[in-house]
């Protein structure tokens, strides 16, 4: 639930900006005229929307300020891009870069280390306007995996490659790294991506595993190791960060990024990279009057997700976590902010 205080400020900032650009004056004869005009023209979006989450899992109270600050910075970075005229997919990527650059999140810099003591990240991004998707899995040596995923998405939008080849939208491991370097994304040594927090967590987890292996044997050893891993992941690990964005034209986009589970097997690809699992974005169309943007985060049994539906002037946002279910709802007009209508 960290970062919720930032969302309202983002809504207000974008709405004020939109109102300056497009002043809204409702017609005097309201309902029948409104119904008639909505059939003949596409409704205008009165403001953008940005929402970020720092991931499911255990968030230390001592670092609460840091989590809130990084969420606020991520929101502001996306807002700045939207005000400059960027589309939703560009803004959501900008928000994820800020989350990945923080040493306190399990994404990009400071991600969980795997069994070999290396960082392998997953990330995906989806554009609701084109329905294009880009993702990377188990990628090493990239400071911002979401930028690689976003580049895959943008390259796929250009169409087929030479000789009619289909461009990739999902790459893993060394292939993903080499493709990124070949497309101008600078690499970052894995050792520089590890922080004192991730290194100390790795050493602590490794000691626990070594102790368990010395004490246990046979079937009990494997069973205890699984239980120890589950307890560790449930109590002290963070998982996938993400964001959803609506731009000033009403387009939606979503993205997620993760360092994966602590002490995972090298090469493991988590849900953050998989199509339809980590994130989803889809603009409204004739068959569906709602635009949808989803960003998920899961650590074993902990799960948080964000859903937004836009229908004409109605905005709905819900946040699901182990702490409960919150729904914020209000028409995004006259600078009004979402209000709590259910829990």
Residues that are catalytic = 240
Q: What is the CA radius of gyration of the chain?
A: 21
Distances (CA, A) of 38 to 44, 164, 215, 306: 10, 42, 70, 28
Cβ pair 96, 143 in contact under 8 A: no
| CA-angle at 179, arms to 173 and 184, nearest 5° | 130
If we measure between CA atoms, which residue out of 192, 247, 316 comes closest to residue 46?
A: 247
Question: Residue 203 pairs with which residues in a beta bridge?
Answer: none
Cβ pair 74, 91 in contact under 8 A: no
Cβ pair 245, 281 in contact under 8 A: no
If we measure between CA atoms, which residue out of 125, 115, 133 comes closest to residue 260?
A: 115
If we measure between CA atoms, which residue out of 139, 142, 64, 72 comes closest to residue 104?
A: 64
- The continuous run of DSSP H or E covering 37 comes out as helix 30-40
Q: What's the start-to-end Cα distance of the chain, in Å? A: 14
Q: Is 154 left (phi over 0), alpha (psi -120 to 50) or beta?
A: alpha
């Amino acid at each position: 639930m960290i970062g919720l205080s930032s969302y309202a400020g983002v809504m207000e900032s974008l709405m004020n900006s939109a109102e300056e650009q497009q002043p809204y004056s409702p017609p005097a004869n309201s309902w029948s005229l409104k119904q008639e005009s909505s059939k003949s023209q596409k409704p205008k979006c009165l403001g953008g929307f940005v929402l970020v989450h720092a991931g499911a899992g255990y968030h230390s109270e001592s670092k609460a300020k840091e989590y809130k600050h990084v969420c606020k910075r991520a929101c502001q970075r996306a807002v700045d891009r939207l005000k400059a005229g960027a589309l939703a997919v560009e803004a959501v990527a900008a928000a994820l870069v800020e989350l990945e650059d923080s040493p306190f999140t399990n994404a990009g810099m400071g991600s969980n280390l795997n069994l070999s003591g290396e960082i392998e990240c997953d990330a995906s991004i989806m554009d609701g306007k084109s329905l294009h998707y880009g993702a990377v899995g188990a990628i090493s040596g990239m400071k911002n995996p979401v930028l690689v995923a976003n580049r895959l998405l943008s390259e796929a939008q250009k169409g087929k490659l030479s000789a009619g080849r289909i461009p990739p939208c999902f790459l893993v491991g060394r292939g993903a790294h080499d493709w990124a370097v070949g497309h101008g994304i600078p690499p970052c040594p894995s050792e520089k991506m590890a922080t004192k927090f991730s290194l100390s967590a790795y050493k602590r987890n490794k000691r626990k595993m070594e102790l368990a292996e010395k004490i246990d044997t046979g079937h009990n050893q494997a069973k205890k190791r699984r239980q120890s891993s589950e307890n560790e992941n449930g109590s002290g690990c963070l998982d996938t960060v993400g964001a959803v964005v609506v731009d000033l034209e009403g387009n939606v986009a979503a993205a997620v990024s993760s360092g994966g589970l602590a002490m995972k097997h090298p090469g493991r690809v988590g849900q953050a990279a998989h199509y339809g699992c980590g994130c989803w974005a889809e603009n409204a169309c004739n068959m569906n009057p709602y635009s949808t943007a989803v960003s998920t985060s899961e650590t074993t049994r902990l799960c948080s997700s964000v859903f937004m539906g836009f229908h004409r002037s109605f905005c709905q946002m819900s946040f699901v976590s182990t702490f409960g279910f919150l729904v914020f709802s209000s028409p995004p007009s006259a600078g009004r902010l979402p209000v709590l209508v259910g829990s």
